[in-house]
């Protein structure tokens, strides 16, 4: 590491999902026809009424600074959303908007963590949690979940992992990368374990609107006794196909929201005024478009699961939410590529698929669960079919004992 860099840079790495995208761009620049199944965003356009709200804000000259935590109008729309959809009531002082949910998660950790603190991170996990925790000076405690439990944290495992140093427990439902969706009953069981401990709960609800099987349960609703210790993170990126608008929001204890506001005031300041106006239209507007999106996503999920079922060496459970399939690739270990190279890890498998099929997937090790691949299926149907065909052909060329 360059001596001019801060020591903190030694404890983190670049986002694996971003690295996959960069590799695919490099291949594409060389003339390869690449397909990215590694990026977590919908291929649908942002709904027109939301775009029009952003355009109207520009034309109205709504392009100046706002309050750091968002305009009063946006915070009121967020409050309405929380109460209408989740039965949660937050005052304006308990709500903050930022440049994406990612920023708010980072700010919450930075505001509360220090040396010696621990954060329980159920695995598989979103790739950025551990590095954010390390940047805040704390230690991520990775708690592996099991496929037989639906990739969900059990109360027994949680009870064993809690220590006096535990400051946060992360709950992400629907989960990235597994699509696991917790029920009210499962959250209630976790609540009983957490109640005696002075621990904060990070409820990452960003995939709330993408549930295929069952229904969404918000931790802050399902665990009412812990309401004052729960930070609910959400945003418009996933449910409204607005990843590039960079607008996230959170509701939680006023003392924590104030601290996050201070951090934001000294870093990014307010989120884009145009994105704030668009987010109001999203949160208050008709969501009829979502049923059509989910129908398409469910069809794509089933197509991926069917294709995987025909590929020797791969297997996967049906994913109840989000837009990923988390496939077990350990059945490919020991196989050799046409060049004679042996596949011994999920990174090897993902690398072979990238080189042989020009299809990008993220290896499970990036999510704390080696032996798997995350397949993002929120892409055009024809491209998805082409990608699956290429992967099948590439795997068929492997030499097995």
pLDDT at residue 15, rounded to an integer: 74
- Residue 153 near residue 180, CB atoms below 8 Å: no
Pick the CATH number of 7-45+289-396 from 3.90.1150.10, 3.40.50.80, 3.60.21.10, 3.40.50.300: 3.90.1150.10
Write down the mean pLDDT value for the chain: 96
pLDDT classification of 5: cutoffs 50, 70, 90: confident
CA distance 19 to 16: 5
Instruction: Check pLDDT > 80 for residue 328.
Output: yes
CATH topology of domain 48-284: 3.40.640
Contact partners, residue 329, CB within 8 Å, separation at least 6? 313, 314, 346, 349, 364, 371, 372, 373
Which of 200, 209, 207 shows the shortest CA–CA distance to 231?
Answer: 200
CA distance 366 to 16: 6
Same fold for the domain at 7-45+289-396 and the one at 48-284? no
Angle (deg, nearest 10), helices 273-284 and 72-86: 30
Which of 272, 237, 245 shows the shortest CA–CA distance to 62?
Answer: 272
pTM above 0.75, yes or no: yes
Average pLDDT score over residue span 42-50: 98
pLDDT at residue 23, rounded to an integer: 78
pLDDT at residue 228, rounded to an integer: 98
Average pLDDT score over residue span 6-22: 79
Instruction: Check pLDDT > 90 for residue 69.
Output: yes
- Residue 316 near residue 327, CB atoms below 8 Å: yes
Q: Which secondary-structure segment (H or E) carries 201?
A: strand 200-204
Give the domain ranges of the chain. 7-45+289-396, 48-284
pLDDT at residue 10, rounded to an integer: 85
pLDDT classification of 400: cutoffs 50, 70, 90: confident
Which of 132, 135, 129 shows the shortest CA–CA distance to 115?
Answer: 135
How many CB atoms are located within 10 Å of the residue 396 CB? 9
pLDDT at residue 19, rounded to an integer: 73
pLDDT at residue 43, rounded to an integer: 96
Average pLDDT score over residue span 175-202: 98
pLDDT at residue 12, rounded to an integer: 83
| Rounded percentage of the chain residues whose pLDDT exceeds 70 | 100
Average pLDDT score over residue span 238-255: 98
Which comes out higher in pLDDT, residue 14 or 130? 130
pLDDT tens figures, 70-119: 999 999 999 999 999 999 999 999 999 999 999 999 999 999 999 999 99
Q: Give me the torsion for CA of 356, 361, 362, 364, rounded to 10°.
A: -80
CA distance 248 to 279: 9
pLDDT at residue 3, rounded to an integer: 82
pLDDT at residue 39, rounded to an integer: 86
CA distance 149 to 146: 5
pLDDT tens figures, 295-312: 999 999 999 999 999 999
């Amino acid at each position: 590491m360059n001596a001019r860099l801060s020591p903190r840079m030694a404890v983190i790495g670049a986002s694996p999902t971003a690295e996959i995208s960069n590799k695919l761009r490099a291949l594409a620049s060389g003339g390869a026809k690449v397909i990215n199944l590694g990026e977590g965003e919908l291929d649908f356009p942002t709904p027109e009424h939301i775009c029009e709200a952003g355009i109207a804000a520009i034309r109205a000259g709504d392009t100046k600074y706002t309050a750091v935590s968002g305009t009063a109008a946006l915070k009121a729309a967020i409050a309405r959303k929380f109460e209408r959809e989740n039965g949660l009531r937050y005052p304006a002082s308990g709500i903050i908007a930022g440049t994406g949910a990612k920023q708010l998660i980072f700010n919450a950790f930075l505001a509360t963590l220090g040396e010696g603190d621990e954060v329980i991170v159920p695995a598989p996990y979103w790739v950025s949690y551990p590095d954010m925790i390390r940047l805040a000076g704390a230690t991520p405690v990775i708690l592996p979940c099991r496929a037989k439990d639906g990739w969900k944290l059990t109360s027994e495992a949680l009870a064993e992992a809690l220590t006096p140093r535990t400051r946060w427990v992360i709950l992400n439902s629907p989960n990235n990368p597994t699509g696991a969706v917790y029920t009210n009953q499962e959250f209630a069981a976790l609540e009983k374990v957490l109640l005696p401990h002075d621990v904060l709960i990070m409820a990452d609800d960003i995939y709330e609107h993408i549930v295929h099987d069952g229904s969404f349960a918000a931790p802050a609703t399902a665990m009412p006794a812990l309401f004052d210790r729960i930070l609910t993170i959400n945003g418009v990126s996933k449910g409204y196909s607005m990843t590039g608008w960079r607008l996230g929001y959170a509701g939680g204890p006023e003392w924590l929201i104030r601290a996050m506001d201070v951090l934001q005031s000294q870093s990014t300041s307010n989120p884009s005024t145009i994105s704030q106006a668009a987010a109001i239209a999203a949160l208050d507007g008709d969501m009829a478009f979502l049923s059509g999106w989910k129908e398409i996503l469910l069809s794509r999920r089933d197509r991926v699961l069917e294709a995987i079922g025909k590929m020797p060496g791969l297997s996967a459970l049906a994913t109840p939410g989000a837009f990923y399939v988390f496939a077990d690739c350990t059945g490919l270990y020991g196989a050799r590529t046409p060049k004679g190279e042996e596949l011994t890890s999920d990174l090897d498998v993902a690398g072979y698929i990238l080189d042989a099929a020009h299809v990008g997937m993220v290896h499970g090790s990036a999510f704390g669960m080696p032996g798997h691949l995350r397949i993002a299926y929120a892409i055009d149907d024809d491209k998805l079919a082409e990608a699956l065909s290429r992967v099948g052909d590439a795997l068929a060329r492997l030499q097995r004992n």
